[in-house]
Amino acid sequence: MARNIITGLDIGSSSVRAIVVERKKDGSLRILAASQKESEGVRRGYITSLEDASKTISAAVKSLEKISGLSVRNAMVSVGGISLGSYRSKAMVRTSKADGEITDHDIKRLIAQSEANLTNMANNKVIHSIPLSFKVDNAIVHGRPTEMKGVKLEVETLLITCLSQHLSDLIKTIEASGLSVDDIVASPLATSYAVLTRQQKETGCVMANIGASTVSVVVFEDGLPISLEVFPIGSSHITNDIALGLQIPLDEAERIKINYGTENTMSKKKLSDIIEARLNDIFEMIENHLKKINRNQVLPAGAILTGSGSNLFSVEEIAKASLKLPAKTGTLMPSNNNSLVITAPTTNLRDQILNDPGWSVALGLCVFGFNNNHYLYESEKSAKGGGNILPAIKKWIHNLLP
């Protein structure tokens, strides 16, 4: 009997993490294996050396296969890095049927038109097209517009994009390691599936993933992502600041950073000033982004922090003071997140994953893969006009729930 198994592959700047998850008949998820290798050939989320990165991926996959006893041949893959971005685009089409009934074909034409309306896209690819709101004959539609009748159909869409070259290099690297790609998912969206609850997304929140060399931010409202941004700064910058400020080697600076707040150091005050100054820089960038989209200080569910840098002592307090919002470190697979139950062959393996926010992307990819992806529509431009850039990506044609 076929087993419902998905592999999630997160290629980060500091480490490559891979995880194999099985969905049981009762809907629960079982972690079968997990592997983490130090990244080579990756910088700020994009590939700098195809050969080095593919070797790291191969090593992670071989470790997965040894632990799980499975043959891993394909994976859900995240794309992150500084080339990720998002745009809002509006479009309008006339309904195609003589009686004015709105069909899925009309929706696809509408989404394609919203993508076509973007300018300066010569070097970018649309990887997600997310309809935020519809209008039929100038009237706002709450829910899906299909089977309604009208003459004019309008949409406002969030389009998440990535630099074409980075996407192409990512696909080539994964294929060079011997894997096929099931789907490509923007890292912040994947993370949201592992960290955020439905209530947080509905109420309104900002999720900040503090990685090694980037901080990615996604804002949710009414259950939908309304903005995505990536900043070229991360927790490794804190390590560099400590090394310079205290005049110590990088490995010692990293150890001190990780243990900040749990042990006494000779330069505790100076260390605190260094770490908090860089964290303030990070949250100032996030606050400026929220101001840009008119969502500063108005997200009731507040800021949810994840990623390897979210474990730093006092990060929640600094986030609250900077953003003037409730703030907390996110928990992987919170109990009220779709009522999912996570198990593993050993308690140690389960705790290793769920207690480390660095696994949020890899685990989220698997949850995303099992989910029906209710707000995602296939990017027709990518599917039809992408040439060989995305040859193995599954087509996303799902029910639309704005």
Q: For residue 384, what pLDDT band results from cuts at 50, 70 and 90?
A: very low
Question: Where do the domains of the chain lie, and which CATH numbers do they carry?
Answer: 4-81+165-194+335-370 (3.30.420.40), 85-163 (3.30.1490.110), 198-329 (3.30.420.40)
Q: What is the mean pLDDT of residues 54-60?
A: 95
Query: According to the model, what pLDDT value does residue 335 have?
Result: 58
Name the pLDDT band for 386 (thresholds 50, 70, 90). Answer: very low
Percentage of residues in the chain having pLDDT higher than 90: 66
> 10 Å Cβ neighbour count for 62?
15
Is-contact 12 43, C-beta < 8 A? Answer: no
Which residue would you say has higher pLDDT here, 399 or 33?
33
- pLDDT tens, position by position, 247-257: 999 999 998 88
Q: Grade residue 3 by pLDDT with cuts at 50, 70 and 90.
A: confident
User: Which of 3-12, 81-90, 169-178, 389-398 shows the lowest mean pLDDT across its residues?
Assistant: 389-398
Give the CA distances from residue 124 to residues 85, 121, 295, in Å, rounded to whole numbers and listed in that order. Answer: 10, 5, 26
CB-based contact 229:207 (threshold 8 Å): no
The residue with greater pLDDT, 13 or 298, is 298
Quick one: pLDDT band at residue 380, thresholds 50, 70, 90?
very low
pLDDT at 392 over 50: no
What is the pLDDT confidence band of residue 372, given thresholds at 50, 70 and 90?
Answer: low
Mean pLDDT of all residues in 342-359: 83
Q: For all residues of the chain together, what is the average pLDDT? A: 86
Which pair of tokens denotes residue 58? 């191969």
- Per-residue pLDDT at 31 exceeds 80: yes
| pLDDT the model gives residue 134 | 95
| pLDDT bracket for residue 144 (50, 70, 90) | confident
Closest CA to 33 of 345, 355, 360, 307: 345
Q: How far is CA 98 from CA 101, 147, 323, in A?
A: 8, 13, 51
